[in-house]
Structure 1
Amino acid sequence: MTPPLRHVTRRLACAAICLAPAAVSYAQNTSRQAPPVLDVHFHAMDDSGPTAVPMCPNTSRFTASDPATKEATNGWAQEECTPKLYPAAKGEYIKDVVADMERLNVTAVVFGTPESVRKWIDAAPGRVIPGTGFEAAGARVPLDQLRTSFAKDGFKVMGEIGLQYQGVSPSDMSVDQYFALAEELDIPVAIHMGTGGSGRSNVTRSTFRGSMGNPLLLEELLARHPKLRVQVMHAGYPMIDNMLTLLQANSHVYVDLAGLIWSYPLKEVNRYIERLVDGGFGDRVMFGTDQLVWPKLMAYSISIIQNADYLTPEQKRDILYNNAARFLRIDPKSAK
Structure 2
Amino acid sequence: MRSESGAGGEGDDIRALVTRLGIPGLVDVHTHFMPQNVLDKVWAYFDAVGPLTGVEWPITYREEEERRVALLRGFGVVAFTAMLYPHKPGMAAWLNSWSADFAARTPDCLHTATLFPEPGVERYVRGALDAGARVFKVHLQVGGFDPTDARLHAAWGALADRGTPVVVHCGSGPSPGNFTGPGPMGRLLARHPRLRVIVAHMGMPEYADFLDLAQRYEGVHLDTTMAFTDFGERLAPFPEAELKRLVELGDRILLGTDFPNIPYPYAHQLHALERLGLGDDWLRGVLYGNATALFHVKPPLDR
TM-score w.r.t. structure 1 length? 0.68
| 8 Å CA contact retained: 2:14, 2:267 | no
> Which of 233, 249, 253 is equivalent to 1:281?
249
1:167/1:111 Cα in 2 relative to 1: closer, same or farther (>3 Å)? closer
- 2:98 pairs with 1:116: yes
Output the amino acid matched with 1:49. Answer: D
Displacement of 1:330 = 3.4
> Which of 112, 127, 136 is equivalent to 2:108?
127
- 2:132 pairs with 1:154: yes
| 8 Å CA contact retained: 1:21, 1:303 | no
Deviation digits for residues 277-297 of structure 1, max 9, x if unmatched? 456212211111223446975
Displacement of 1:273 = 10
Instruction: Tell me, in whole angstroms, the C-alpha distance in 2 between the residues paired with 1:273 and 1:333.
Output: 37
1:297/1:71 Cα in 2 relative to 1: closer, same or farther (>3 Å)? closer
Instruction: Tell me, in whole angstroms, the C-alpha distance in 2 between the residues paired with 1:268 and 1:326.
Output: 30
**Within 5 Å, which residues of 2 pair with 1:172-321?**
172-196=149-173, 198=174, 208-209=177-178, 212-260=179-227, 263-265=231-233, 271=239, 275=243, 277-278=245-246, 280-293=248-261, 298-306=266-274, 308-321=275-288
Deviation digits for residues 120-150 of structure 1, max 9, x if unmatched? 3355x33100111113xx9565322221211
- 2:16 pairs with 1:49: no
- 2:3 pairs with 1:36: no
Output the amino acid matched with 1:41. Answer: H
> Which of 53, 75, 94 is equivalent to 1:104?
75
Instruction: Tell me, in whole angstroms, the C-alpha distance in 2 between the residues paired with 1:71 and 1:86.
Output: 15
Deviation digits for residues 257-311 of structure 1, max 9, x if unmatched? 22445552369556579636456212211111223446975444333324x2422
Q: Between Structure 1 and Structure 2, how many residues are aligned?
A: 282
Output the amino acid matched with 1:147. Answer: R
Unpaired runs of at least 5, structure 2: 1-6, 85-94
Identity %: 21
| Counterpart for residue 12 of structure 1 | none
Displacement of 1:230 = 1.4
SS in 2 for 1:49: helix
1:276/1:296 Cα in 2 relative to 1: closer, same or farther (>3 Å)? same
Output the amino acid matched with 2:98. Answer: S
Instruction: Tell me, in whole angstroms, the C-alpha distance in 2 between the residues paired with 1:283 and 1:149.
Output: 27
| 8 Å CA contact retained: 2:11, 2:75 | no
Output the amino acid matched with 1:251. Answer: E
- 2:123 pairs with 1:144: yes
Instruction: Tell me, in whole angstroms, the C-alpha distance in 2 between the residues paired with 1:273 and 1:100.
Output: 36
> Which of 6, 13, 17 is equivalent to 1:25?
13
Instruction: Tell me, in whole angstroms, the C-alpha distance in 1 between the residues paired with 2:254 and 2:261.
Output: 21
Instruction: Tell me, in whole angstroms, the C-alpha distance in 2 between the residues paired with 1:134 and 1:169.
Output: 12
Larger Rg computed on CA atoms: 1
TM-score w.r.t. structure 2 length? 0.74
